């Protein structure tokens, strides 16, 4: 039986002037309620040493609507306002679990405006979506069909910095599992080649940001010349945002196609646990690493492998995949970045740097899948360069899909 997952389908839509004004008011009210509730919860804790729950903030919202200053909150749908309080509660739960930082206030200029509608605040019938407080349906561009018989549970409406309107429809979708395969692949991430596979194939990095760097430079110059607070500056901001949106969309599309191919063709996909945040601190490579978007690549592989019944194995970041000979296992002491091909001092085999690393990543990942062997780096003798002890087993299953 095909598993059912909650899946969001995102579409672009074009609101009328009346709908755009109503949504803009809703966005502003959502931001105000979120910020005021955050302020109240912060004040209650630091001044009164008292924790406020979602129920407390919901009661406070009811009281705010009765005041003269905030009576305008009654003019928009109440559901997005309640959802804002639920999102704040989820943010605090993550903070107290030490998973995220303390919730921050939503900025009018920097935060992306959005509003979430639950089932009681919208109707979806005959391919038309109507939101509460709006007379007509949204003019949605249905770029792909919703699952047959879909019953949306929530609809999130947002507007990006480029002025584009989107609605994200969350509904249940049955995912068809792929037939089991005997193929496995190791993936080595890079900059010149976005990924190198253990099969020897290299997939060139499209470098989307670099290709549009001239456009970005011109847009930034035009923005810098505009007077702050002027209408022309707002237009220049939107032009700059459109360039960034073009880069982001093309990058996401490329990564979707690449990860879908890897998951469909292989039963086991093995990658490295890269410290992307640490690597971006190197100013020489930060821009190129950010453009490669390795974190997004891993995220897509994770959820697609889970959907289609594949295994994604993530080996330890300190595993010396580049310096280890894939033929005999000899570990070379140093391997500068400018060395793209090298010869093993143990067996004499010549290796392409990236292909050799991908093959070692695959071998380590298969060891984890088969018997839980360690993939942490081998400790080397200072005189021989050979392994002094067996590989450690701590963290050997790190990154394996959880049942």
Given the residues 116, 173, 188, 316, the one annotated as active site: 188
Q: Is 354 a catalytic residue?
A: yes
Q: Is 188 a catalytic residue?
A: yes
Contact 240, 213 (CB under 8 A): no
Measured CA to CA, the distance from residue 21 to residue 76 in angstroms comes to 11
Measured CA to CA, the distance from residue 345 to residue 331 in angstroms comes to 9
Measured CA to CA, the distance from residue 134 to residue 13 in angstroms comes to 15
Given the residues 116, 160, 209, 272, the one annotated as active site: 272
Contact 115, 159 (CB under 8 A): no
Measured CA to CA, the distance from residue 391 to residue 400 in angstroms comes to 18
H helices of 328-390, where? 353-371
The first and second tokens of residue 10, run together, are 């995102």
Q: Is 69 a catalytic residue?
A: no
Separation in Å, CA 152 to CA 116, 129, 145: 12, 10, 13
Measured CA to CA, the distance from residue 71 to residue 26 in angstroms comes to 14
Tell the burial category of 310 from Cβ atoms under 10 Å away from its Cβ (0-12, 13-18, 19+): buried
Measured CA to CA, the distance from residue 323 to residue 334 in angstroms comes to 7
List active site positions.
Answer: 188, 272, 354
């Amino acid at each position: 039986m095909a598993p059912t997952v909650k899946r969001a389908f995102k579409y672009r839509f074009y609101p009328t002037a009346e709908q755009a004004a109503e949504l803009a008011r809703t966005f502003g009210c959502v931001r105000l309620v979120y910020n005021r509730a955050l302020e109240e919860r912060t004040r209650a804790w630091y001044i009164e040493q008292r924790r406020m729950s979602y129920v407390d903030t919901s009661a406070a919202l009811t009281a705010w609507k009765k005041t003269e200053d905030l009576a305008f909150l009654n003019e928009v749908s109440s559901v997005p306002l309640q959802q804002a309080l639920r999102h704040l509660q989820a943010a605090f739960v993550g903070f107290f679990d030490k998973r995220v930082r303390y919730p921050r206030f939503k900025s009018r200029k920097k935060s992306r405006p959005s509003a979430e509608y639950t089932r009681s605040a919208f109707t979806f019938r005959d391919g038309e979506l109507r939101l509460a407080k709006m007379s007509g349906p949204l003019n949605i561009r249905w770029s792909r069909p919703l699952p047959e018989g879909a019953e949306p549970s929530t609809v999130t409406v947002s507007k990006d910095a480029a002025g584009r309107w989107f609605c994200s429809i969350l509904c249940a979708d049955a995912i068809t599992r792929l037939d089991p395969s005997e193929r496995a692949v190791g993936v080595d991430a890079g900059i010149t080649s976005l990924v190198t596979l253990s099969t020897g194939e290299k997939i060139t990095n499209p470098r989307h940001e670099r290709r549009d760097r001239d456009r970005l430079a011109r847009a930034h110059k035009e923005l810098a010349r505009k007077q702050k607070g002027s209408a022309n500056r707002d237009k220049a901001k939107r032009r700059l945002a459109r360039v960034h949106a073009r880069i982001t969309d093309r990058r996401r599309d490329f990564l979707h196609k690449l990860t879908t191919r890897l998951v469909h063709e292989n039963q086991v996909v093995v990658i490295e646990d890269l410290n992307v945040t640490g690597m971006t601190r190197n100013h020489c490579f930060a821009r190129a690493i950010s453009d490669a978007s390795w974190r997004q690549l891993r995220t897509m592989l994770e959820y697609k492998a889970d959907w289609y019944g594949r295994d994604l194995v993530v080996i330890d970041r300190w595993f010396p995949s580049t310096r280890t000979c894939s033929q005999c296992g000899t570990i070379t002491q140093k391997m500068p970045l400018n060395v793209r091909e090298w010869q093993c001092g143990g067996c004499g085999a010549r290796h392409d740097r990236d292909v050799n690393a991908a093959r070692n990543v695959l071998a380590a990942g298969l060891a984890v899948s088969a018997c839980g062997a360690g993939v942490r780096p081998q400790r080397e003798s200072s005189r021989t360069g050979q392994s002094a002890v067996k590989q450690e087993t701590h963290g050997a299953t790190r990154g394996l899909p959880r049942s």
